[in-house]
Amino acid sequence: MTNGTGNAQPTGLLTAIAASGATPVVAEGSSESTGGSQTGANSIGYTDLIDLEHSVDPSYRRRGKYMLHDSTLASIRKILDKYGRPLWQAGMSVGAPDTINGRPYVINQAMPEIGASNVTVVYGDLKKFVVRKVRDLSVIRLNELYAASGQVGFISFGRVDSDLLDAGTHPVNSLIMSS
């Protein structure tokens, strides 16, 4: 559901964002905060995340969430704004989510990790990405097919597809690392 091409597999979120015509935000890197030599090919900066948030239509931004790989989250947790405050904040009360820039996030291990030309972070109203199951998964037990070897086989069938609901307003956008 994240990387599917839509050809003999569900349309993945990253494919759907690219097909929507949304212009991805290109990472500049964290050197503006650290003063180091990090680039947009190997780091994510504070301004990259701000630019990503503001690339999404304001009507979708209020329900926006980040989606990223856990290793990307680890890198973002180390980012400080220009006043030395971390972008990542732990939820301060019971049931409050941890946030990045005050926005909740979702960890998705199928998202690409930080690396040149990778789409590493998605932001927006993720409820606009719809997954449709045509019917329940069915499983058939094949007792006789493998009976001679004392084994039992199983085969399953399921129909699933997904796509981004986008009426030209781009409810979700992505951050791509520079090359």
Model confidence pLDDT, tens digit, residues 85-100:
787 878 777 778 888 8
The reported pLDDT for the residue numbered 31 is: 57
* Residue 51 backbone dihedrals phi, psi, to 5 degrees: -60, -40
Q: Name the pTM for this structure.
A: 0.81
The reported pLDDT for the residue numbered 123 is: 97
Provide the pLDDT confidence category of residue 76 given band limits of 50, 70 and 90: confident
Coil, strand or helix at 174: strand
The reported pLDDT for the residue numbered 24 is: 93
Q: Where are the domains of the chain?
A: 13-129+164-176
Instruction: Tell me the H-state helices in the chain.
Output: 13-19, 31-34, 46-54, 58-61, 70-77
Fold for 13-129+164-176, please state it.
hypothetical protein PF0899 fold (3.30.2320)
Beta bridge partners of 170: none
Coil, strand or helix at 104: strand
